[in-house]
Amino acid sequence: MENRKMDSNYNSISEITPLSEKDTFYIAVREKDSFTFPIHCHKEYELTFCEKARGARRVVGDSAEVIEDTDLVLITGYELEHAWEQHECKSKKIKEITIQFTSETIPTSLLEKNQFLSIKTLIERAQKGLCFSLETIKNIRPLLIELSKEKDGFYATLKLWEILYKLSLSENARTLASQSFSNAIIHTDSRRVKLIQNYINNHFQEDILTLLFLLL
- Same domain membership, residue 55 and residue 128: yes
User: Are 101 and 178 in a shared domain?
Assistant: yes
> Inter-axis angle of helices 153-168 and 134-149, to 10 degrees?
170
- The predicted model gives 128-142 an average pLDDT of 97
- Residue 83's CB is within 10 A of a number of other CB atoms, namely 19
- Identify the weakest region by mean pLDDT among 69-73, 138-142, 204-208: 204-208
Can you give the pTM of this predicted structure? 0.79
pLDDT at 117 over 50: yes
Using alpha carbons, select from 188, 171, 180, 87 the residue that is nearest to residue 130: 171
Phi-psi sector, 202: left (phi>0), alpha (psi -120 to 50), beta: alpha
Exposure string of 63-80, with b = 16+ CB inside 10 Å and e = fewer, is bbbebeebbbbbbbbbeb
Domain CATH code at residue 26: 2.60.120.280
Cβ atoms within 10 Å of 149's Cβ, excluding its own: 10
CA dist., res. 44 & res. 101, Å (int): 6
Residue 119: which H helix or E strand, with range? helix 117-125
Same domain, residue pair 98 and 201: no
Q: Sort strands 82-85 and 57-60 into parallel, antiparallel or unpaired.
A: antiparallel
Give pLDDT tens digits for 5-45.
444 344 568 888 899 999 999 999 999 999 999 999 999 99
pLDDT of residue 63: 95
Q: How far apart are CA 187 and CA 43, in angstroms?
A: 11
For residues 78 and 186, what is the distance between their CA atoms, to the nearest angstrom? Answer: 7
Same domain flag for 88 and 195: no
Does 114 lie in the same domain as 48? yes
Q: How many domains does the chain have?
A: 2
Domain with 203, as residue range(s), is: 186-216
pLDDT at 188: 40
Question: Rounded to 5 degrees, what are φ and ψ at 202?
Answer: -75, -25
User: Do residues 156 and 145 touch, judged by C-beta distance below 8 A?
Assistant: no
* pLDDT tens digits for range 150-169: 999 999 999 999 999 999 99
pLDDT of the residue at 52: 97
The C-alpha atoms of residue 10 and residue 196 are separated, in whole angstroms, by: 34
Percentage of the chain exceeding pLDDT 70: 78
In the prediction, which pLDDT does 179 show? 84
Q: Are 155 and 206 in a shared domain?
A: no
For residues 108 and 34, membership in a common domain is answered with yes
Q: Same domain, yes or no, for 180 and 197?
A: no
Q: Could you tell me if 130 and 46 lie in one domain? A: yes
* Residue 116 DSSP class: G
Dist. CA 173–CA 157, nearest whole Å: 23
pLDDT for residue 65: 97
CA distance 163 to 110: 16
pLDDT, tens only, 35-92: 999 999 999 999 999 999 999 999 999 999 999 999 999 999 988 999 999 999 999 9
Cα(163)–Cα(158) distance, rounded to whole angstroms? 9
Residues 22 and 118 reside in one and the same domain? yes
Examine the domain organization and report whether 130 and 162 are in the same domain. yes
- The H or E element that residue 167 is part of is helix 153-168
Q: What is the mean pLDDT of the chain?
A: 85
For residues 175 and 159, membership in a common domain is answered with yes
What is the model's pLDDT at position 109? 94
Q: Answer whether residue 186 shows pLDDT above 90.
A: no
